[in-house]
Chains A and B, each alone.
Chain A
Amino acid sequence: DSGVTQTPKHLITATGQRVTLRCSPRSGDLSVYWYQQSLDQGLQFLIQYYNGEERAKGNILERFSAQQFPDLHSELNLSSLELGDSALYFCASSARDRISGNTIYFGEGSWLTVV
């Protein structure tokens, strides 16, 4: 158990809909990262928050947004869903704002299926 909690574990929704994925980082970790894993794109970094502020942005679509709340949990919002958004979405956390030399811990992921 990494200590990173993600909900829901599985989600099936229709195209055009909007979903919210939730992540609770490990106790004491201030950074939260979101990754998307799909068969054709592999593991893609989406976005990082540190202590409530956006710190780095990767290949995140404009239809997607995220935030980190004062209690440090984070949400990833996916809207106007398309079939190609079906993927495993991971949240990870680390203590500091830079990975360098630090381990980041991954949750078990949220499986999103868009039908």
Chain B
Amino acid sequence: SQQGEEDPQALSIQEGENATMNCSYKTSINNLQWYRQNSGRGLVHLILIRSNEREKHSGRLRVTLDTSKKSSSLLITASRAADTASYFCATDAWGTSGSRLTFGEGTQLTVNP
């Protein structure tokens, strides 16, 4: 099963509005990353937040991390039609042999012009 679970599964908003996506995970983590995927394309890294950080900003993106609740949120402010994509959280967990990112099932964001 996926380590991360995104909520909601799908989100439809108007251009200019803010979009918030949530991610929950099960085990302790080193870091949590957010990725974006345009339909049928590769994943693009958006932002990484370490387990000892609570909030991080990058342009119109704001990520929070609550390790006590094992959850993270991604906020996209002033959304644009070009933000339409699937967004995935991915965790890098302690104790994993080798190294891997475990992805959630993603949130499909649609921004209507």
Contact = CB atoms under 8 A, between A and B. Distances in A.
B26 to A, nearest CB: 15
B57 interface: no
A115 interface: no
Given A56-B98, A56-B100, A103 B45 contact: yes
The 5 closest A-B pairs by CB, nearest first: A56-B98, A43-B103, A55-B98, A106-B43, A106-B42
Contact of B41 (A43, A58, A109): A109
A12 B46 CA distance: 32
A31 B48 contact: no
15 contacts: A2-B42, A43-B106, A50-B98, A55-B98, A55-B99, A56-B97, A90-B43, A97-B98, A98-B99, A99-B31, A99-B100, A100-B99, A101-B31, A103-B45, A106-B43
Per DSSP, are chain A's interface residues mostly helix, strand or loop, or mixed? Answer: strand
**What is the size category of the interface that chain A forms with chain B?**
20 to 34
B29 to A, nearest CB: 10
A90 B98 CA distance: 18
B71 interface: no
Contacts of B105: 42
Contacts of A90: 42-43
**What is the size category of the interface that chain B forms with chain A?**
20 to 34
A18 interface: no
Contacts of A45: 100-102
A109 B45 contact: no
Contact of B48 (A35, A42, A55, A103): A103
Contacts of A104: 45, 101
Interface string B44-80: 1100101000000000000000000000000000000
Given A2-B44, A101-B48, A111-B40, A42 B31 contact: no
Interface string B3-29: 000000000000000000000000000
Contact of A58 (B92, B100, B104, B106): B100
